[in-house]
Structure 1
């Protein structure tokens, strides 16, 4: 163990890895020695019921006990006590070549903020990765991350990675489960940090796997969707809205014949449904992005531009116009219906469009108020300036 202040901190989460953790700690010390920099090895004991903590300590590791379960919880605890400028992360089951950490540290020292290992660009030995994980699970999850967040990486869930200490504040990590791995990657890209990859070897694990293949995969997917309002809300909502509006315009004057088929009021009802549902979904996306920007510290160029150009009153005006148009349309139809003695309604299409305009206008008005509440700052910094100090007689 180095007596100098550590430049490198190797953080290793551990849950019942008595068989392997000692060897992993030794490999971490080998890697630190090969790098030529002082370092420390931190093993986060995540409620192990075997001798993992004792074995790690015997091999020179600092052992941190984290009672909250979860992969992310363990890493958050380890990162909180790590003192090095360069933090290397790896598992306690001998699957990753921790002794080869020097290139990761060199990349960080050269200016990268996050350096990822890539098992797919390197060598996967034997049965280290099950066929389903190798050819289905990991490619799909990495592909989703790349598509949803504009990430360009080959192995988003590799457990061996390194990060600069000063980048951790920018990343602002919170996830407590396996989705911690996804959070680190997409936030690094979203917040314009420098990210690179290094091919690594991947070995069969020692001991029993703790992964829940489908449960952990779903946690990753759920997390990515929650942090991707554009794909979860805007894309499907906008498609519904455009289809509904175009169809409603085409049917506004009555039945139309297209491709040899006559589209009547039942088709208009479907378009109304698409408009109403699309409006709600898009509105939820706006709320999500605004909340993330105002309260979660997320940067969002679109929200910033909207805040500069749009106010609550703009939303109220737009919703009010729709609401007024719908009310006027329905009022005219009602008056004509009353003069006809409340007989058969002869303006079915216009009536349907009038009710749709009222519903959408009401949503926009109330949604504008709710958006104003979401983006309201609870405290404002004081702008008071001392102009002159007057001595007291």
Structure 2
């Protein structure tokens, strides 16, 4: 049974699921660091349902054990973080691959005022065989590059499992994932929330367990990549959508005035049909980016920058409806005009190419206008105030001034 909560400077949290083979070594290293450094701290084991006696090993060595019933890497760590007594928390796996006896760089950066301190295994040293070549030369570099590109993360080892942070800051940013994505979520939300982030060298040695690790390279890699994409609607929807929309509209408008030949290759109404389709897909992607951002901000999954918030407030539902109706009616007018011109010929046979050259822009206007109208109504639904919004504003007003805000 846990003692009443008393504060300390540092809690070293280790998620645990049947780690009896290496857990004692990790605990002794962490306790050795605390004794040697004089840091006021504790070792906490967040057990996720071990059946190999890991809990008894931890308690026998004087570590505190918190049982976390909800399965998953993220759930285990969040259970440990919530139960931590330390101002600072350092987390790391209990497989003896991370050196808990050398935590001085992490504590030093935390004391300097950084909110998140990431370890960098590539700068600190990776023992031969400690990291599979697939992870070392493809997975980690690619995911770290994407993290820096999407979120401007000042780290080059995005998925190092040994990291430290201010407990209050990490609890404030609202972490939700329950599985392996939790490692990415900490960095992503810290970047989006404007937390101060530093990186220090750390070492990685071969997993001390005889059994296979819980990780699955391709599955977990995809889950991390999927998380990065979902949390960056700009790169997932907006930028590709804008590129397709601009390219599609420009090509469609150019072909309205007749065939175009480039390097001996001719482009006509058949090409125009495809470019119009590209424009529609691009416009859908742009609208999706805005909807994801609005929904994410509403559910407190994504922060909204002041500039983006100002833009959203200017684009009211009514303005969106007016814009959509203008585009829609422009398409209708073009279609009616074509019908009138056809009637002037007695509804006889028409030149197919000339007819399609007008019909495609007409349909493009109708489709884009209708999509704008529907998007505006959906945005209106997301903007309806709820009691949860009122409670959130009240809670923010009651927070101490030094806690800051997640979104501006």
Q: TM-score range by the shorter chain?
A: over 0.9
**Deviation larger for 335-344 or 260-269:** 335-344
After TM superposition, give the deviation of residue 179 of structure 1 in Å: 1.1
What is the CA–CA distance in structure 2 between the aligned matches of 1:325 and 1:45, rounded to whole Å?
A: 63
Q: Aligned equivalents of 2:45 and 2:25: distance in 1?
A: 12
User: Counterparts of 1:268 and 1:79 in 2: how far apart (Å)?
Assistant: 57
Deviation at 1:377, TM superposition (A): 1.9
Structure 2 CA distance, aligned partners of 1:14 and 1:196?
26
For the residues of structure 1 that align with 2:32 and 2:337, how far apart are their CA atoms? 84
CA distance in 2, matches of 1:4, 1:182: 30
Deviation of 1:342 after TM superposition, in Å, equals 2.2
Equivalent residue for 1:205, pick from 195, 204, 207 = 207
Identify the residue that residue 64 of structure 1 maps to in structure 2: 66
> Which residue is equivalent to 1:366?
374
Gaps of 5+ in 1: 384-393
Residues 99-136 of structure 1, C-alpha deviations (whole Å, 9 max, x = no match): 11233122111111111111000111121112221111
Q: Is 1:258 equivalent to 2:255 in the alignment?
A: no
Q: Secondary structure at the match of 1:99?
A: coil
Quick check: 1:139 aligned with 2:148? no
User: Which residue of the partner structure matches residue 30 of structure 2?
Assistant: 28
Q: Which residue of 2 aligns with 1:333?
A: 338
Partner of residue 310, structure 2? 305
Matched, 1:276 2:291: no
Partner of 1:391: none
Over residues 357-383 of structure 1, what are the superposed CA-to-partner deviations in whole Å (9 max), with x where a residue is unaligned? 011101001111111112322136599
- State whether residues 94 and 206 of structure 1, in contact with CA within 8 Å, keep that contact through their aligned partners in structure 2: yes
Distance in 2 between residues matched to 1:299 and 1:272, nearest whole Å = 32
1:81 aligns with 2:109: no
Q: May I ask how many residue pairs the two structures share in their alignment?
A: 382
Measure, in 2, the Cα distance between the counterparts of 1:193 and 1:102: 21
Return the alpha-carbon distance in structure 2 between the equivalents of residues 63 and 245 of structure 1: 61
Aligned match of 1:220:
224
Aligned to 1:153: 155
CA contact (8 A) 1:122 1:199 kept: yes
The 3 A distance-change label for structure 1 pair 131 and 257 is: closer
Shift of 1:343: 2.0
- Pair 1:169–1:68, CA change in 2 (3 A): closer
Give the superposition deviation at 1:302. 4.0
**Match for residue 354 of structure 1?**
362
2:115 is equivalent to residue 113 of structure 1: yes
Q: Deviations over 1:22-46 (max 9, x none)?
A: 1111111112223322211110111
Q: Indicate which of 174, 177, 194 corresponds to 2:176.
A: 174
1:71 shift after superposition: 1.1
Match of 1:14 in 2: 16
Deviations 1:231-254 (A, max 9, x none): 110111111101111111101122
Secondary structure of 1:181's counterpart equals helix
Tell me the CA shift for residue 294 of structure 1.
2.5
Displacement, 1:74?
0.7
Greater mean alpha carbon deviation, residues 2-11 or residues 339-348:
2-11
CA contact (8 A) 1:291 1:375 kept: no
Per the alignment, residue 240 of structure 2 pairs with 236
Q: Is the 8 A contact 1:25 1:61 kept in 2?
A: yes
Query: CA RMSD for the aligned pairs?
Result: 1.9
TM-score, normalisation: structure 1: 0.93
How far apart, CA to CA, are the structure 1 residues paired with 2:15 and 2:6? 24
Contact 1:293 1:303 in 2 (8 A): no
